[in-house]
Structure 1
């Protein structure tokens, strides 16, 4: 088929669209759907970037226990990384301008949950408290031209906090071996014998709070609640080993003892392994 034939066929299609309002309407639908699919794919890519950088921030904060780095230095470095993550979130907010956020929520909800996990982990190490949803949303207001903001939904906040408990469990197990790193105002990573018990109490309070939700929460909550119960059980085992076996076993060997009981230990963190994300 020559170029002239192609031009004639295209001209025939354009003429048909002009005389057929129905075909013209479907052409408009096609363009609108293509634009929506393209926007969805862009949001998926941005969410993936947010997820990766948030995980790297979490790995960085765990260095307080596995490498003896100063907590204050890690908090400063992690804030710099989270600022870069927020710029990715700003790009998501720009994509959603003039759109119904809930039409595209599935494209970036995983990234927002990972961001909540990272920012709440940093907040806990800094203040020993749980960051509120309002505080998270205040950090996602971006002045400038144009001024945009993105609201973390209640579901994403709840599921992000549920994921936080896994990081606190790892922190608890690592601190059993004398890594410290539990915050509480310590300048470096000097061993703090109260850190595992403090983390265990906090996890128990979070678990009690989630239990109050019952069947009212999102459908993913039941699975995460099961994982939370396992994390709490590991922390309780670690505290038991520290309290009962602490006088029998050297402190630096307690982490290995807890690992043998299924507590996870610090070896995986030292190698960068967490939920299959070693390659991030």
Structure 2
């Protein structure tokens, strides 16, 4: 027998009709526009609304730029990881193809930093520090890793702040063109002396571009550079130890056994980074130990920086242990392998004996 009765409507009422007045049809003349609210406080709250909209738009721009800077900085690190030096520091310019690839990413980073300079002026620099912090840390990690490979020392805070200010793009990218001129002929000192003499005498491209350069400098001086906090600098150095660990593991796997075992690991400890003859694995292990000793002596405290640094300190200690265990494995089992043995590294990243 089919059910009888009235179907319950969607509105929930017992009858089949909608309860309450029906809404007027769209487009009818009964719909009238409500007048704009008026009152003595309306202009004030309208201004508050505009300020909040500007704040959210500014915050989104900074976050997006920080993410793009992080992505480009990671590509710089991946490019540097392809190097296979036998000794550290390099004490010579990077290969041309590496420099050319890095310059493309660094040019993008400097463009992104310059684009958010107006958003980080005065108090906004501190207000949005948490939003721009990840990008700055990753960029300093990339620049610091390159600085370490070239000079064997940690990058200083003043130099790191110069890179992240967003005001020195021409100088940062111009240095690479000077290195290319040095490869074509003459020394770096000669190139700088010739350019200086041309600028003083009013000849050459430096003098011709003087007026344009002055106008650009006036525009830049009206803006304050992006401030790099010392906390972000220290956290970036923490992260750099992870890249040093990866570089060391790869160097251990690709270095002949005869260059790892005979010479003691502690050789050259007194000379430090000034010793140009240190093999890459031993140099990395020694410098990682020195960084671990320095970081463990920091008074982190209970501030937000202390919480972040405490987590990174634990990761850094694990990175140093991985390099030490790799060396211990080579030293203990070295007698079982023939002279000249090198690990075969496959495409997947594993090793096969």
Q: How does 1:178-197 map to 2 (within 5 A)?
A: 178=254, 194-197=279-282
1:166 lines up with 2:166 in the alignment: no
Change (3 A) 1:176 1:106: same
**1:133 paired residue among 157, 161, 171:** 157
Farther off after superposition, 243-252 or 27-36? 243-252
Q: What is the aligned partner in structure 2 of residue 278 from structure 1?
A: none
Q: After TM superposition, which residue ranges in structure 1, 4 or more long, deviate above 4 angstroms?
A: 1-8
What's the offset of the Cα at 1:54? 0.4
Residue number among 167, 171, 180 corresponding to 1:142 in the alignment: 167
TM-score by length of 1: 0.76
Match of 1:53 in 2: 72
The answer to whether the 8 A contact 2:59-2:131 is kept is yes
Aligned length: 242
Asked if the contact 1:47–1:108 (Cα under 8 Å) also holds between the matched residues in 2, the reply is yes
Secondary structure of 1:224's partner?
Answer: helix
Alignment gaps of 5+ in structure 2: 1-25, 86-92, 169-215, 257-272
Helix, strand or coil for the counterpart of 2:337? coil
Kindly state the Cα deviation for residue 163 of structure 1 after the two structures are TM-superposed: 0.5
Distance in 2, matches of 1:107 and 1:4, equals 50
Q: Is 1:206 equivalent to 2:327 in the alignment?
A: no
Task: Give runs of aligned pairs for residues 64-83 of structure 1, distance below 5 A.
Answer: 64-65=83-84, 71-73=94-96, 74-83=98-107
The answer to whether the Cα contact below 8 Å between 2:252 and 2:281 also exists between their aligned partners in 1 is: yes
Segment of structure 1 superposing worse, 32-41 or 201-210: 201-210
Corresponding residue for 1:246? 334
- 1:1-280 equivalent positions in 2, closer than 5 A: 8-9=33-34, 12-13=35-36, 16-17=37-38, 20-65=39-84, 71-73=94-96, 74-139=98-163, 140=165, 142=167, 144=216, 146-147=219-220, 148=223, 149-178=225-254, 194-216=279-301, 217-249=305-337, 251-253=341-343, 267=349
Could you tell me how far 1:99 is from its partner in structure 2?
4.4
Contact 2:62/2:132 (<8 A) preserved: yes
Q: What's the offset of the Cα at 1:72?
A: 2.5
Please, which runs of 5 or more residues in structure 1 have no aligned partner?
186-191, 257-264, 269-280
Tell me if the contact between 1:175 and 1:196 (Cα under 8 Å) persists in the aligned partners. Answer: yes
Name the CA distance, whole Å, in 2 between partners of 1:228 and 1:50.
23
Using a 3 Å threshold, how does the CA distance of structure 1 residues 32 and 238 change in structure 2: closer, same or farther?
Answer: same
Distance in 1 between residues matched to 2:28 and 2:113, nearest whole Å: 46
Return the alpha-carbon distance in structure 1 between the equivalents of residues 95 and 45 of structure 2.
Answer: 59
| Deviation of 1:255 (Å) | 7.3
How far off its partner does 1:95 sit?
A: 2.1
Q: Is the 8 A contact 1:176 1:254 kept in 2?
A: no
Give SS of 1:146's match. Answer: helix
C-alpha distance after superposition, 1:197-232 (max 9, x if no partner): 210111111111111113335320111000000000
Q: For 2:120 and 2:31, how far apart are their aligned partners in 1?
A: 38
Flag the structure with larger Rg. Answer: 2
Q: What's the C-alpha RMSD, in Å, of the aligned pairs? A: 3.1
TM superposition shift of 1:177: 1.5
C-alpha separation in 2, matches of 1:169 and 1:132: 20
